[in-house]
Amino acid sequence: MQILRVTDAPGEYPDRLIYGVLEALHSYTLYECKGRDNISLGNPAETVVLDNLHLATAPSRIINQIMQSGQIVDRLILVDQQEDHDIQAPEGCTVDHHFVLVNCRFLPQSFSQKRDYYFDPADAVTTLLNLTKAA
């Protein structure tokens, strides 16, 4: 399973840039994680998006739930809005790529070497689609 993390426009920017990225995906299932410690899986698409994972009460439990569900999930996209937030992932779970979508009007104070920053969601879409094709 490919695990991607997308930090959506950190800071005070009110609009969500992640939607421009998600529009490019063929199909996906999005689960809202804010204030939750588990989700109702149902029958998810091959791409699962966990939105607002940084606001979940038990992010590790939610990720584990997806990984151990027995459902066919090729790609797991973890969406947060705090790039420095340490998402507690289950042991053995590593993020393959960390995207940070940044609005040009609200630049971060510093840039991390471990992340890729995108000022245009279209560029993030291109990279994301290339990564998913390669997987």
Over the stretch 86-97, which tens digit does the pLDDT of each residue have?
Answer: 887 778 788 888
Task: List, for residues 113-135, the tens digit of each pLDDT value.
Answer: 567 776 767 777 777 777 766 65
Beta bridge partners of 101: 8, 118
Average pLDDT of the chain is 81
Q: Domain of 16?
A: 2-134
pLDDT value at 57 more than 90: yes
Q: Is the pTM of this model over 0.85?
A: no
Count of domains forming the chain: 1
Residue 108: how many CB atoms within 10 A of its CB?
A: 15
pLDDT of residue 111: 53
Give the residue among 46, 47, 49, 41 at the shortest CA–CA distance from 18.
49
pLDDT of residue 135: 55
Residue 52, H or E segment: none
pLDDT value at 39 more than 90: yes
